[in-house]
Structure 1
Amino acid sequence: MARTYVVTGSASGIGAATAKTLRDRGDRVIGIDLRDAEVAADLSTSAGRADAAARAIELSGGVIDGVIACAGISAPIAKTVSINYFGVTELLEQLVPALQKSDAPRAAVVSSMASLQANSAELVAAQLAGDEAKALEIAETFVVQGPEVGYITYPSSKRALARWVRRESITPTWAGNGIALNAVAPGTVITPMTEQLLATPEGRAMVDANVPMPLNYHQPAQSIVDVLVWLTNVENTHMAGQVIYCDGGADATLRGDDIWSWSD
């Protein structure tokens, strides 16, 4: 049976590939992006998120079966936290009433293996507290020091998002309503956002030093799409709060073979 999906970032990259895959199998997709989408909206602002949610719910007829949040940027600017964290979490929260009306509601977001990289604990905490103004203020203190320092906004936004997924997935709002909420953390994906960086030997060397991918190297967007689609399928009845590192082995390389000793 066809399902109704909301896909953010649907005009390019992983979002576009996700929307195409869903449509090709017969599902209905309501895309959200700055342009070239069913809903044109700016997810970097609270007003834009509210408008996007309202219009997506209206277009869906009030029932949404799945939400896949792909919209995001990797830039040494403060707005990165607004798009990557608040643009995901605030929109998802506003779509919960429509998800509740589905017989098999699911949600998945795109995190990143950058969630394992160095980040600002203060910036992560501000995001998790829902204080966007403070998060932007903290982010700006890094941005003004130049792009190398300002890049910390990206891993900080993805760390906060991964923690939000784990925290919220088991609450009455999500698990209590039967909504499976999970995340996929890609490694280096070949998209328009990364192709310029990967175009030079120096760029590739820098990327590979931070994201070692022993299995099949840099990945196509479809490798992430397939996981996102499964997570939001009817068949996913019990996976909740997982951040799945579909990253060519980067997580296993960086964190090693023991991620369990914390409980010993």
Structure 2
Amino acid sequence: MSSETSRPASNSGTPTPAFAGQKVFITGASQGIGAETARFFAANGARVVLNGRNVKALETVLASLAQVPEGPHLITPADVSDEKAISDAMAKAISEMGGLDILICNAGFQIEGPSEDFSVADFERVMGVNVLGTAIPARQALRYWLKNDIKGRIVVNSSVHQIIPKPGYLSYAASKGALGNIVRTLALEYASHGIRINAVAPGAIVTPINDSWVNDPEQYKVVSSHIPMKRPGQSAEIAAVIGFLAGPASSYITGQTLFVDGGLTLYADFEKNWSS
């Protein structure tokens, strides 16, 4: 039986890493927030499984991870929207690692286009990765934890667009809205088993998905101007919050979405009073 507890100091007097001995499965781990989250957990003692579709990119991330005594980190390539592929990948990872403590549902993507012209195929692709790509891995983790009486944790990477509209990205906004209720529903359903499910909702973050403005100095300034803290976030800042939600410091938190957005959800236009 596994439970969330603080790790004692080692006999040498050196504090034991926060996630020592923990096994973590991360979807969408080939770049950006997923890759940085993998580095965070490995640096804090966890054994990590990297999931994604780009094997070469996953291997690059794998090479950057700190080694841990429990064994090598793993790569399990699979499309999270493919039920059999991701289910088999998780079963293989659990078998090779000898367990699973934490699932990070990070995989996601978006397709831009006017809402009057969206294609059903594109809409289904986005929902498949962002929604089914969260629900299926969560289902597999829950089955394992319930069978083995493990108090596991799931952290979902959502978005500020869980609550902020995103014109031109209808399927993406719909998918992120769905994630909020998936988290709340699963959290309520499994709270009595000691299983916790939460979400982090990033704002504008410096990641490859945002290269169009990250690499354009003028656009970078424009984006920053809309954020109350006047800068975009870094992947490491999101990874740290994911670590918090997966760790013992948040042991009484479940069903919540934590917005990590530099104040983007604070209605920045009201920073100066113009309405009264």
Q: Secondary structure of 1:33's match?
A: coil
Per-residue CA shift, 1:68-127, capped at 9, x if unaligned? 1111112233211110111011111111133343654211010000112337xxxxxxxx
Match for 1:83: what amino acid?
V
Does 2:110 match 1:74? yes
Aligned match of 2:155: 108
Per-residue CA shift, 1:182-201, capped at 9, x if unaligned? 00000011011112233336
Aligned match of 1:17: 36
Pair 1:202–1:152, CA change in 2 (3 A): farther
Q: Which has the larger radius of gyration?
A: 2
Q: CA deviation at 1:43?
A: 1.2
Name the stretch that deviates more: 43-52 or 89-98. Answer: 43-52
170, 186, 194: which is aligned to 1:152?
Answer: 170
Aligned match of 1:260: none
Pair 1:157–1:21, CA change in 2 (3 A): same
Aligned mates of 2:76, 2:43 — CA distance in 1 = 20
Where in structure 2 are the equivalents of 1:65-144 lying within 5 Å? 65-76=101-112, 77-78=122-123, 79-100=125-146, 101=148, 103-118=150-165
Aligned mates of 2:159, 2:270 — CA distance in 1 = 18
Aligned mates of 1:169, 1:255 — CA distance in 2 = 33
Gaps of 5+ in 1: 120-147, 258-264
Aligned mates of 1:51, 1:80 — CA distance in 2 = 22
TM-score, normalised relative to structure 2: 0.73
79, 82, 87: which is aligned to 1:50?
Answer: 87
Aligned match of 1:220: 234
Where in structure 2 are the equivalents of 1:152-231 lying within 5 Å? 152-171=170-189, 174-200=190-216, 203-204=219-220, 207=223, 212-231=226-245
Q: Secondary structure of 1:182's match?
A: strand
Q: Is contact 1:69–1:108 with CA below 8 Å preserved after alignment?
A: yes
Q: Percent identity?
A: 28
Aligned match of 2:71: none
Does 2:40 match 1:26? no
Aligned mates of 1:215, 1:25 — CA distance in 2 = 29
Q: CA deviation at 1:60?
A: 2.7
Pair 1:204–1:116, CA change in 2 (3 A): farther
Aligned mates of 1:255, 1:167 — CA distance in 2 = 33
Number of equivalent positions: 223
Q: CA deviation at 1:255?
A: 10
